[in-house]
Structure 1
Amino acid sequence: MAYLFNNPEDFTDELTEGFVAAYPQWVRRVPGGVVRSTRPAPGQVAVVIGGGSGHYPAFAGLVGPGLAHGAAMGNIFASPSAQQIYSVAKAAQNGGGVLFSYGNYAGDVLNFTQAQDRLIAEGIEARTVSVTDDVSSAPPAETAKRRGVAGDLTVFKVAGACADAGGDLDEVVRVAARANDRTRSFGVAFAGCTLPGSSEPLFTVPAGKMAVGLGIHGEPGISERSLPTADEAAELFVDTLLADLPPDIAAGDVRGSRVGLVLNGLGSVKSEELFVVFRRVRQLLDDAGITIVDPEVGELVTSFQMAGASLTLFWLDEELERYWTAPASTPAFRKGAVAASVQGAAEGYQEEAAAAELPAASAASREAAEGVQAILEAMKDLLDEQAPELGRLDSVAGDGDHGIGMQRGATAAVAAGRDALAAGAGAGSLLQLAGDAWADKAGGTSGALWGMALNTVGARVGNDVPPDAVSVSAGIAEAGQKIQQFGKASLGDKTLLDVLLPFSDSLSEHVRAGSSLRAAWSAAADVAQRSADATAQMVPKMGRARPLAEKSVGTPDPGAVSMAMVARTIERKLLEGGPGAKPRGYNNQGETYD
């Protein structure tokens, strides 16, 4: 478990502050993460990596000459927000475009894609190579669905080396994609990790057993086996990876191949133990006629203090080997001698200190904003109370952070709403600012989607007239469409959409029939609850729970449950009436009723 922390809410900010203070010769802090403290050559491609904290040395520890140019840092096991990623990329880019690379997780995909789209809209060329090395998370025919685990290192390393060698964006993308195609990883765990402020591990392993095929976010393994000896673990690693070769390497014809190798400790398995395992791995690969090139044995991509290990094989060709063995110098990864860099960081991007001017709002919209804020406050109270239960649901087949992520998002939304009220914001602007804050502070998949939902409803509601049944239902319907398009999930995939879409359909149907917002919302909240309950029998097809589909059957989706909870809480606020629930005072024609 974590022993040294202050307020768990401040853990990521404080570790970043300490990290930068420890390694100023390599990194400097920027909004959202860190970038190199040395200035790269003008026109050089910027390799920007990132993900949740809790994986050190990934991701911030891999920033420096010969490797990454910047790292976006999310909360523990949560994707950085789109704003954080954008900020880091703006600070790191130097005129040659940006390559984003990260592990293939839903939240990272959503948030990095948003940041990439924003850069492109500003005229900065940006591309992505997501890492998909985990053989446990999908079969060979579906490699694009695989997770990124310790193989992150091989892709980041060759991309950074290619960029520093002067490769243009097309070349860096090509090399990174080839590295990803030729990287395979497999891991086991003996005990789960416990996050700062938590009293229980994200998962447990029975005595005398090990979890096989785990993820790096505290996701349980896909199966359990008897606890092995070091040699038996090595044999499992090698046998598994030699049975899952890259497509351009013929099965059974690996003699003469050359591989980069990462034997990775996940946090509590120490180097001495890993050396015992590597001894046997080396024997097995020698027997297979495979040459190991520059092996890395130690902690490279961890899972906080999880007791576990993984093996990565990186099947080299002449070009990939040149970049794999190229010099690099970062706080946590050093190889060879790096040529002297120009000291002193470029000016780079910094976030605007001044707040943007609020759009004009009518007196009625400003008054309605008070009711909207009261609803946000009620949502925060609910999520503060329910965070442990939502985390428990998420830990069945995920990483257990849904509750704390929702709590962080709601807390940030409430704070932004209070500031907006003080500045005279209308209802629409308040919702949009709250959505931006939710996405930025929560991170992860749910942060991106809830931020998108609040922002979309706010844009539809506007600031000219108070929210009414028509504008609210239309905004929620539009939010559902955007989330479906952007997140690539569908009804039945066991996600929050399995509540949002039926809720939205019911709300719109009752509004079209002439119901007031209060009555329509109440009926739709019943639908939301039934829909959330029904997800218990679904098999997940998206997100971190997908590789553990069978384990999740019988447990409702945490994102669906939290959405139904929020719908019910808003219903109660609408029924209360009075100054704290002004939005209920308008029907679908915009007429007041009390």
Structure 2
Amino acid sequence: MSYVLNDAADFADESADGFVAAHRDLVRRVRGGVARAAATPAGQVAVVIGGGSGHYPAFAGLVGPGLAHAAAMGNVFASPSAQQVHAVAKAVATDAGVLLTYGNYAGDALNFDQAQEQLRAEGIHCETVRVTDDIFSAGSDEREKRRGIAGDLAVFRVAGWAAEQGRSLDDVAALAARANERTRSIGVAFSGCTLPGADAPLFTVPEGQMAVGMGIHGEPGIETVPLPKASELAAMLVERLLAERPDGAADRVAVIVNGLGSVKSEELFVLYGSIAAGLEAAGLVIVDPEVGEYATSFEMAGVSLTLLWLDVELEKAWRAPAYTPAYRKGVIEVAIADATSEDAPSDDETITAATTEEAAAAGRVAASALSAIHAAIDSDVDELGRLDAVAGDGDHGIGMQRGVRAADAAAAAAVRAGAGAGTVLTRAGDAWADKAGGTSGALWGRGLRAIGERLGNAAAPDPRAVAEAIAAARDAVQAFGKAKPGDKTLVDALVPFAQTLVERVDAGVDLVTAWKDAAAAATTAARATADLLPQMGRARPHSQKSLGTPDPGAVSLALAVTAVAAALAEHDALEEKEN
């Protein structure tokens, strides 16, 4: 657990600020993350890595010559938002382009892909390589669905080296992809980790047992087996990875033995001794092994083994020098830092006031709805985290709380400027996506923006306009996230909510009653997700564990729309009293 913190919601930002303060000669703070202190050399591809906080030295600690040019840093165990990724990439991009590379998780893919689209639209060449090294997260026939764990380091090292050689963006991306295709990892855990501010671990492992195939976000293991001796553990790790040897791979391998937080150097060396013996007995030649902490999970007690099967080019990359706050190898020249140490966030968009009092009043109603959602999420944040921890990473409650706090504040600022409902909701959606990150942050941001764009600011919307706006949000969320009813996501609650609202409005029912009925339908549907198996996201590898537990995204959506129903009813009651 975390003993040193102020407000858990500010933990990631305060940690990043302290990290930069400790390494000002190597890194600078940029909006959304950190970048090398010196500008990217002209004509050099910028390698941008990233992911959630809580994994140091991944990702900020790997920024520096020979490795990444910048890291987009999300909140704890949550992907950075598209806005963060875009801002970080812009801070280091050159005419040579940008490579985005990160572990393959649903939220990261959504947000990095959205940022890539924006970068390309602005004329910045951009390619992506997702790391898929974890052999336990999907079968060998579905490698594209595997998540990225400590194998991130291998891919990042190769990408950074290729960029330093002055290679083209296509060449850098191709070599990084080749490294990913030849990288395999497996992890085990002896105990779970606890998020900052939480009073219990995300999962527990029975005494004398070991969870095999856990994730670096606190996802529990796929199997639980008796805790073996170090030599037996090493034999199991080696055997499992050798069974996944890439076709045509030679006999030279890079090795990473990674501690996940509580297993320290001496124990890792004991394990590595047996691993090295096993690999050599299998006829493999070990090249520059790395034994230490490279992708952690707070205080999780666990280890992982990564193998990168080398060819001539990959070996050059693996052996190349690098100099970052947390990873140093060989001798490398470090460029002199820029004069500025921080690129401050900027927001040049001016809020335009609504043209009529009626439209401004609609903006106030929209803001009060967001305040109601804020209160509902705050009261249930722990329960949402508990639901998420059953088969996921346990951060859903915290992520929702960060997102709705930002959305509420953005909506309030828009109301103070006299904005209508459209502006209030679009700015709230953007703030939610930016501060929450992760899959839910991206989806809520996209949904709120769709509602705001459909409603506009011209006048107070009637029930038909509201129903159509909710239907537009449903369509936007499904198009963006690719989920459908039955996948055990928030879509399972959103679809019946939108459908019921449209049907009730079509029947001539007033908005408050229609919304209450739709919220009831969403609540029923959210409870019914307990009978479903997840088909998407971090919970998918642990689908059986989630059976009997409702989806946290569906539950939080039902909580939100139920809170809005009460806010709308209160608004109507006040209006009637005033009239």
C-alpha deviations, 1:268-305, integer Å up to 9, x for none?
00011000000000001111110111111000000111
Aligned equivalent of 2:500? 506
* Contact 1:494-1:541 at 8 Å conserved across structures: yes
What residue number does 2:199 align with?
Answer: 199
The 2-side partners of 1:395 and 1:450 are apart by: 20
- Contact 2:33/2:88 (CA < 8 Å) preserved in 1? yes
Give the whole-Å Cα distance in 1 for the aligned partners of 2:133 and 2:507: 51
Q: Which amino acid aligns with 2:511?
A: L
The answer (yes or no) to whether the contact 1:90–1:349 under 8 Å persists in 2 is no
Deviations 1:385-432 (A, max 9, x none): 000000000000000010111111111111111111111111110011
Unaligned 5+ runs, structure 1: 250-255, 586-592
Q: 1:316 aligned to 310, 331, 349, which one?
A: 310
Q: Which residue of 2 aligns with 1:417?
A: 411
The one of 328, 332, 338 equivalent to 1:334 is 328
- 1:481 aligns to 2:475 (yes or no): yes
Which contiguous aligned blocks of 4+ residues in structure 1 show a shift greater than 4 angstroms? 345-350
Q: Give the C-alpha shift of residue 371 in structure 1.
A: 1.5
Q: Distance in 2 between matches of 1:361 and 1:170?
A: 50
Residue 7 of structure 1 deviates from its aligned partner by 1.6
In the TM superposition, residue 346 of structure 1 has moved relative to its aligned partner by 8.6
Aligned to 1:44: 44
User: Residues 115-154 of structure 1: matches in 2 within 5 Å?
Assistant: 115-154=115-154
**What is the rounded CA distance, in whole Å, between the counterparts of 1:526 and 1:91 in structure 2?**
46
Aligned to 1:464: 458
Post-superposition CA distance 1:236-277 (Å, at most 9, x none): 11011111122444xxxxxx5111111000000001100000
Q: Look up the equivalent residue of 1:268 and give its one-letter code.
A: S
Contact 1:184–1:241 (CA under 8 A) maintained in structure 2: yes
Q: CA deviation at 1:514?
A: 2.5
Partner of 2:534: 540
Inter-CA distance 340–564: structure 2 relative to 1 (3 Å threshold): closer
Cα deviation code 1:9-45 (max 9, x no counterpart):
2211111111111111110001111000123320211
Higher mean alpha-carbon deviation, 396-405 vs 351-360, is at 351-360
CA distance in 1 between counterparts of 2:387 and 2:560 reads: 16
Q: Which whole-Å CA distance do the structure 1 matches of 2:323 and 2:87 have between them?
A: 23
Q: What is the aligned partner in structure 2 of residue 454 from structure 1?
A: 448
CA deviation profile, 1:342-385 (whole Å, cap 9, x unmatched) = 54269997543544242644321101211111111111111000
- Say which SS state the counterpart of residue 190 (structure 2) adopts: strand
Aligned to 1:264: 258
Deviation, structure 1 residue 578: 4.1
Percent identity reads: 57
Aligned to 2:562: 568
The one-letter code sitting in structure 2 at the alignment partner of 1:335 is K
Q: Which residue does 1:240 correspond to in 2?
A: 240
Taking the aligned partners of 1:461 and 1:355, their CA distance within structure 2 comes to 20
Q: Partner amino acid for 1:198?
A: A
Could you say what secondary structure the match of 1:577 adopts? helix
Task: State whether residues 264 and 300 of structure 1, in contact with CA within 8 Å, keep that contact through their aligned partners in structure 2.
Answer: yes
CA 1:568 to 1:324, structure 2 compared with 1: closer, same or farther past 3 Å?
same
1:378 has 2:372 as partner = yes
The equivalences for 1:253-292 within 5 A come to 257-292=251-286
What SS class does the counterpart of residue 185 from structure 1 fall into? Answer: strand
1:22-61 equivalences under 5 Å are 22-61=22-61
> Could you tell me which amino acid in structure 1 is paired with residue 418 of structure 2?
G
Partners of 2:125 and 2:206 in 1: CA distance: 49
What's the offset of the Cα at 1:232? 1.2
Match of 1:298 among 292, 310, 327: 292
Q: Contact 1:371 / 1:579 at 8 angstroms: preserved in 2?
A: no
Q: Conserved in 2, the CA contact under 8 Å of 1:90 and 1:348?
A: no
Q: Is the 8 A contact 2:353 2:417 kept in 1?
A: no
CA distance in 2, matches of 1:523, 1:16: 45
Alpha-carbon distance between aligned partners in 1 of 2:123 and 2:434, rounded to the nearest angstrom: 23
C-alpha change, 1:578 and 1:510, in structure 2 (3 Å) is closer
Q: Distance in 2 between matches of 1:362 and 1:127?
A: 46
CA drift at 1:502? 1.7
Unaligned runs of 5+ in 2: none
What is the rounded CA distance, in whole Å, between the counterparts of 1:345 and 1:56 in structure 2?
27
In structure 2, what is the Cα distance between the partners aligned to 1:18 and 1:349? 16
Partner of 1:388: 382
**What letter corresponds to residue 439 of structure 1 in structure 2?**
A
Q: What is the root-mean-square deviation of aligned Cα atoms in Å?
A: 1.7
Letter of the structure 1 residue corresponding to residue 166 of structure 2:
G
Q: Which moved more, 1:479-488 or 1:383-392?
A: 479-488
Which whole-Å CA distance do the structure 2 matches of 1:347 and 1:94 have between them? 19
- Give a deviation string over 1:120-169, Cα, whole Å, max 9, x none: 11111111111110001000000000000000001111001100110110
Q: Are residues 1:431 and 2:425 paired?
A: yes
Query: Does structure 1 conserve the Cα–Cα contact (< 8 Å) formed by 2:373 and 2:561?
Result: no
